[in-house]
Structure 1
């Protein structure tokens, strides 16, 4: 009798376990929440999912729709609460399909090209299914632009500065102890910096993004090239695992990063038709491997040297309004700096992981102070070394064309010997003309420079 009872218990328990297996399988993967990020040329839909999922995505026309079929899935999120403004989506519908599956339909305003992929869990998110709605018309509209011509400038072009706000959309960047998100801080700074640049005659600013959406790193440098940029400035906020580190930094590309990038460019056939030199220069098209390599090395070296120059000028200005993390321009192999034909720098505005700097970066007055320092550093550099054909280059060349005397205000980093060489006169003549007893000058001092 005892054997029969024991067997009965085992049979019932085993039966219950077997019944639980199909029930667990039926539960499937849940769609827990959703977010949507409209951008100028695409819209990103992100679904937070309970695990990896089998899915299919396809577009339909007449009317325009996007269908997302999810196998063995159930919907917990309320998709109807998503804010669809600024996106090509009119409405989102969903319904069970084939018993355990789920179909989500996006009614669209226009035809799009879909792309989807899954992301593994990280520190901020769990499993995610990402669906991109690509507006091919918007992509085609991003054609290389003609060099911008300044108004009332005798036909001379502006210096074009492309300002890049790091992260965005699904990627918040670093997050401070009080919840301040890097993507918000740097977008505000980038817009302020762009406004300062636009307000100065002889300059034009372009933003890689002007809203809360993500652009991949390579596309940021491609945008700079399509705008014929003379300078690319990427704005970020640093973070560390402890709250102690603080201070602003400026980075340029390292030589190691330059070497790897040269190899990548030579290996990619589509790069050979790209121009070296921003608004126009030497093409790799039709060049043999050795000559193409030499041209790229020369261009990359020149870009890095220019990046170090403008970075040093910016650091000099930042040091007067904020603490510096390092006194010199640092170098690293950041992907966003790897443009062989455009001087590129990355500005770390401070450590958002430091409570005091997080509080500073959250305030508009501090962000404006930093942005103004960055712009003044850019202007300092280009006043000394303006690109050929620009309004600033024309002004510098013709500053004393009538034989008159010019007034010059000493900037950080200026030396009397450097100014003498730049203006083609001797140091002794410059000292004599300004009644100077030695060759020392101070920042803010105004000196007179005669025509050479």
Structure 2
């Protein structure tokens, strides 16, 4: 069953009864359907954009009742004030750097189907970028097309580090695909640097969302790795999301499927939402 959780927070000034802010965070906590655009669906509108998820009629009624209750609370709190009510997601006004690994002359790993990692990385990143921007975040990306950032690997990685460290960002998420000599290895896994407590927290939250929203049988845990250049040299909390094993023919086919890429992006987005929800409540 698709479940939802609505978190609402507001406060009012005693002086003028003005509603200071309302924060509504609609999170789908279990597996989404393969498509977000198939009728029937609920639209969550933010800044002219929308996110879509299929829900049952029963769940729709529940969500409708909750939204109606929230609307009443907001109206009551805003009585006597002509100020606008600000509706914000936890990523609103955050600066997030997205890195699609490899590109151009560097294909990354190539699967048995002949598909290159670099293209999957870019596709997932683009979908994640859309969700974040719809949520109000400012997103900087290391590449928007099939291009490398340098003529050699060292120069390419140095440029990615530069973008991350000069952007004054809150977090960095780098998208990659895994590979292993054994074709049986599978499952998404998130990596962080051992010296970054925030990076560890972000990685664990994204890992949990990848499990609950993409593959509930995935037993992998977020793992520290101090060898990755982008994790060692980035000055902000950073994670590498290995979305799956391109060396596994069955998983490689999924990773090249647009609906599955959308699921991955949505799960990563929810993990980021969870992260900023926690940091703001501390």
- Fold-level match, TM-score > 0.5? yes
Deviations, residues 381-420 of structure 1 (Å, cap 9, x unaligned): 101103xxxxxxxxx6xxxxxxxxxxxxxxxxxxxxxxxx
User: TM-score of the superposition, structure 1-length normalised?
Assistant: 0.40
Query: RMSD across aligned C-alpha pairs, in angstroms?
Result: 2.1
Q: Cα offset for 1:241?
A: 1.7
CA distance in 2, matches of 1:181, 1:325: 26
8 A contact 1:236–1:349 mirrored in 2: yes
Give the alignment partner of residue 209 of structure 1, picking from 122, 127, 143. Answer: 143
CA distance in 2, matches of 1:186, 1:175: 12
Aligned to 1:353, what secondary structure does the other structure show? Answer: coil
Q: Cα offset for 1:325?
A: 5.7
Deviations, residues 226-248 of structure 1 (Å, cap 9, x unaligned): 22111011100001122111110
CA distance in 1, matches of 2:143, 2:277: 27
CA distance in 1, matches of 2:167, 2:222: 29
8 A contact 1:161–1:205 mirrored in 2: yes
Unaligned runs of 5+ in 2: 1-85, 150-155
Q: Cα offset for 1:338?
A: 1.9
8 A contact 2:199–2:238 mirrored in 1: yes
Aligned to 1:172, what secondary structure does the other structure show? Answer: coil
Unaligned runs of 5+ in 1: 1-151, 255-300, 387-395, 397-421, 423-452
1:44-443 equivalent positions in 2, closer than 5 A: 158-201=93-136, 203-215=137-149, 216-254=156-194, 301=195, 304-320=196-212, 321-322=214-215, 323-324=217-218, 326-339=220-233, 341-386=235-280
Deviates more, 1:311-320 or 1:336-345: 336-345
In structure 2, relative to structure 1, the CA distance for the partners of 1:172 and 1:340 (3 Å cut) is: closer
In the other structure, the counterpart of 1:87 is none
**Post-superposition, which runs of at least 4 consecutive aligned residues in structure 1 deviate over 3 A?**
none
Q: Cα offset for 1:189?
A: 0.4
8 A contact 1:237–1:349 mirrored in 2: yes
Higher relative contact order (CA 8 A, sep 6+): 2
CA distance in 2, matches of 1:336, 1:211: 20
Aligned to 2:97, what secondary structure does the other structure show? Answer: strand
User: TM-score of the superposition, structure 2-length normalised?
Assistant: 0.62
Q: Cα offset for 1:217?
A: 1.1
Larger radius of gyration: 1
